[in-house]
């Protein structure tokens, strides 16, 4: 299972929920960011982040702005990104996927739904790499 996951969400409650969702993976470390700008800083400071779970509606820099900024970064290859948001607007979801997100989960979500999407994305990545 994943070792480092960057959680980008402005809700402290959601960060606690993610801890519960991923606590069954002993070696998994969650890194918290409260907005997209903070997430960009964490990406430059932390090596080995393997997945980003990204909210759309946040202050300072929202999830779509984060994806746009990340797409302009040429210094490193971004890890897979899953949008996890209450934003139900189809155009926001499509824009996020166009900007590079690998999947979308609508809040509130079931942990199994998130785990299944993560497994699918990483099995696709491994298949492409082979």
- 84-128 pLDDT, tens digit per residue, is 988 667 777 888 889 989 999 888 888 889 888 988 888 886 665
Which candidate, 55, 27, 21, 16, places its Cα nearest to that of 39?
55
pLDDT in tens, 13-49: 999 999 988 887 778 899 999 999 999 999 999 888 9
Q: Is the pLDDT of residue 130 over 60?
A: no
Task: Tell me: cis bond preceding 40? Omega within 30 of 0 counts.
Answer: no
CA dist 93 and 99 (Å) reads: 10
**Alpha carbon distance 9, 111 (integer Å):** 17
Domain membership of residue 29 as a residue range: 4-129
Two tokens, residue 45 = 């400071």
Q: Mean pLDDT over residues 57-82, rounded?
A: 88
DSSP count for the chain of H helices, then E strands: 5, 5
The whole-number average pLDDT for the span 67-95 is 82
**127 to each of 97, 102, 103, 122, 130, how far by Cα in Å?**
20, 15, 17, 9, 5
User: What's the total number of domains in the chain?
Assistant: 1
What is the domain-level CATH number for residue 114? 3.40.50.2300
Contact 60/37 with Cβ under 8 angstroms? yes
What is the pTM (predicted TM-score) of this model?
Answer: 0.89
Query: Do 65 and 95 meet the contact criterion of CB atoms below 8 Å apart?
Result: no
């Amino acid at each position: 299972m994943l070792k480092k996951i960057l959680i980008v969400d402005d809700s402290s409650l959601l960060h606690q929920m993610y801890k519960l969702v991923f606590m069954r993976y002993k070696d998994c470390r969650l890194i918290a960011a409260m907005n997209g700008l903070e997430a960009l800083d964490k990406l430059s400071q932390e090596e080995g982040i393997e997945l980003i779970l990204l909210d759309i509606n946040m202050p300072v820099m929202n999830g779509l702005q984060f994806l746009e900024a990340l797409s302009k970064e040429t210094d490193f290859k971004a890890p897979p990104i899953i949008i996890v948001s209450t934003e139900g607007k189809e155009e926001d979801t499509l824009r996020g996927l166009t900007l590079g997100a690998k999947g979308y989960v609508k809040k509130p979500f079931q942990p199994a739904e998130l785990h299944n999407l993560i497994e699918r994305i990483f099995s696709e990545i491994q298949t492409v790499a082979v």
